[in-house]
Amino acid sequence: MRIAATLFCIALAVVAGVALARTTASAQGDSLIVLELYQSQGCSSCPPANANVAAITGRPDVVVLSFAVTYWDNLGWRDTFAKPQFTARQYAYARGLGHSNVYTPQVVLNGRIDLSGVNASDLSAAMSRVQRISSRLISLENGRLGIGPAEAQAPADVWLVHFDRRTLPVPISAGENEGRTLPHKNIVRDLVHLGTWAGSPVSFPVAPPSDPNFGTAILVQKQNGGPIVAAAKF
């Protein structure tokens, strides 16, 4: 009897987990902000933006993603989380937003507007005016991602993002932040291009994160650093 009861509880937990995955995106509704922070441990002006962004990671209506970039790595300190792929994504935004170059810290909201993020009031004001997006097109269940039907103005890229929910303190022993220990929150660990979506229903197999501390975000984004048209976090 005890074994049967235990198995029944496990089954309930599995069902509840599947239901949670199924309903998380719909609960986010039509009022979501994807906040991407581009920063480096070698950048002395980045810690204030890191702190401002970390303070809002718990908001259910915001997907916070912190991307560490590589172009500070030759200036005294090699960032422990940076990847060339993240730098390439920021350069795509530079083209999409009409900038001549990249900078840190840079906050990009829904792929539509950007600012440095070092001033909390300016960040709050930008978030209040950015056009919000929906999560209702997106479902993730039993390792399968679905993007539903909708009118699309152009083909969109579908991105899978795994990010670390923990606060990760990193001691810095060289460069502009030498001697400091910098906390990092929602650091992106994986960025995977799953395919494209042009309005018709599509689905993709999605592997679970390699670490239970990682969260998952799905971004549906117009190509070449364009606006994000749908997103969800799980």
pLDDT by residue (tens digit) across 80-137? 999 999 999 999 999 999 999 999 999 999 999 999 999 999 999 999 999 999 999 9
Is the pLDDT at 6 greater than 80? The verdict is no
> What's the average model confidence in pLDDT over 26-47?
89
pTM for the whole structure: 0.88
The predicted pLDDT at position 180 comes to 98
Is the pLDDT at 16 greater than 50? The verdict is no
Is the pLDDT at 17 greater than 70? The verdict is no
Length of the chain: 234
Is the pLDDT at 153 greater than 60? The verdict is yes
Other CB atoms closer than 10 Å to residue 226's CB: what's the count?
19
The predicted pLDDT at position 19 comes to 35
Q: What average pLDDT does the chain have?
A: 90
Topology (CATH level 3) of domain 2-233: Glutaredoxin (3.40.30)
Partnered with residue 159 across adjacent β-strands are: 193, 219
Is the pLDDT at 36 greater than 50? The verdict is yes
The predicted pLDDT at position 82 comes to 98
- Euclidean distance between CA atoms 124 and 135, whole angstroms: 22
Please report, for the chain, the start and end positions of each structural domain, with discontinuous segments joined by +.
Answer: 2-233
Question: How far is residue 213 from each of residues 64, 99, 167, measured CA to CA in Å?
Answer: 15, 35, 11
> What's the average model confidence in pLDDT over 144-159?
92
pLDDT digits (tens, 9 = 90+) for 57-91: 999 999 999 999 999 999 999 999 999 999 999 99
> What's the average model confidence in pLDDT over 209-213?
96
The predicted pLDDT at position 28 comes to 61
